[in-house]
Amino acid sequence: MTESTIAASGEGAAQPAAVVLPLLVVAVIAAFLLSVALGPIPITLSEIGAALTGGPVDAMLRDIILDLRIPRSLMGLAVGAVLAVGGTAMQGLFRNPLADPTLIGVSGGAALAAASFIVFGASLAFIPDGLRLYAMPVAAFLGGIIVVLVIQRLAQRDGHTDIATMLLAGIAVNAVVMAGIGLLTFIGDDTQLRTINFWMLGSLGGSGWGPLSAVGPVSLLVVLACLALARVLDGMMLGEREAQTLGFNVETAKRLLIVAVAAGVGTAVAFCGVIVFVGIVAPHMVRIAIGPAHRPLLIGAALLGGILMLLADTLCRLIVAPAELPIGIVTSLLGAPFFLALLIGRSRTQSV
């Protein structure tokens, strides 16, 4: 396949993308409004409009809309988008439709660092009280980045990042990380164990304008960075050597993709915990609809990832209201059957 063939494949995806992407935009708006409106306290669209425009609305409802639900819904969009885009990028990088950001260790490293802070953070007296709210997210982010750097270093061979070695290193390091989390849950008390378990299942409950100011810009930058590398991902579908013959700087692209995904997913996990399956499900659903060309695929995955997060979070708030389920339970219940169907479909295809 030549570079002109890659361009032709992108043009072939343009027609379905021209239909699917606008529909996804409409679905994002609908899911956002549902997320703001539905909850233990139902809110009408007119009340949402009044709160946004300064119209007459109950003061408590205005506070709920502006300070709780809108930043939470925006956080869902940002986290869903960056997880889905990270999954798309990793599937292109590993040339494996079952890949997701957990393979490079970012989620596991963040989880280990967060669990460590939950168990030992109270003894860190040097952290000012005003900064303790953000201390665990910072620790989780750094933990994710450090593990990614370790895995990348293990996969380096003469300045070349070997993807197969990186995959195996990721599996091994993730196993060590999970063992560390298991040890921390053993030595922690009941309250700490409950906190670790809840964080490991993910939640948007801690969302606010402060956390959103960190997650939102990073998510946007990651999506833009992956879009800028979309043609390289298209070329890498053929293999690294073939992509190099097409003039792409594959090694630089791999490093940029790994850093971008690590930063985006690390930030999301740091503030919202570990949320699974979005990075696998969203890219596949969009790929089925519009094809493999990465530019429309990344845009569609970002939109669908946001939709899935908003719908899952809305269900979390409604199923056991006024309590709240961890969002990872809902995404697992929705994503696991899709993942199994994907595996069955692949095995049937390979057996033909």
Residues ≥6 apart with Cβ < 8 Å to 26:
none
Q: What is the pLDDT of residues 196-243, one digit of tens each?
A: 888 888 899 888 898 899 899 999 999 999 999 999 998 888 777 787
- The phi-psi region of residue 343 (left if phi > 0; otherwise alpha if psi is between -120 and 50; otherwise beta) is alpha
Residues ≥6 apart with Cβ < 8 Å to 104:
90, 148, 151, 152, 166, 170, 258, 261, 262
Say how far apart CA 96 and CA 264 lie, in whole Å: 20
Secondary structure (3-state) at 161: strand
Using the predicted structure, report yes or no on whether residue 23 has a pLDDT greater than 90.
yes
Tokens 């021209």 appear where?
Answer: 18
Q: Does domain 3-351 have CATH number 1.20.1050.10?
A: no
How far lies 311's CA from each of 30, 301, 338, in Å?
A: 10, 15, 16
Domain ranges of the chain: 3-351
45: phi then psi, degrees, rounded to nearest 5: -65, -35
Taking residues 164-182, report their average pLDDT: 86
Return the pLDDT at 239: 77
Using the predicted structure, report yes or no on whether residue 350 has a pLDDT greater than 70.
no
Using the predicted structure, report yes or no on whether residue 1 has a pLDDT greater than 50.
no
- The phi-psi region of residue 60 (left if phi > 0; otherwise alpha if psi is between -120 and 50; otherwise beta) is alpha
Return the pLDDT at 179: 92
How far lies 305's CA from each of 19, 35, 300, 309, 329, in Å?
A: 18, 14, 8, 6, 16
Q: What is the pLDDT of residues 54-86, one digit of tens each?
A: 888 888 899 999 999 999 999 999 999 999 999
Residues ≥6 apart with Cβ < 8 Å to 67:
208, 209
Using the predicted structure, report yes or no on whether residue 44 has a pLDDT greater than 60.
yes
Q: What is the pLDDT of residues 244-267, one digit of tens each?
A: 887 788 888 888 998 899 889 888
Return the pLDDT at 313: 94
**Residues 241 and 303 sit within 8 Å (Cβ to Cβ):** no
Using the predicted structure, report yes or no on whether residue 323 has a pLDDT greater than 70.
yes
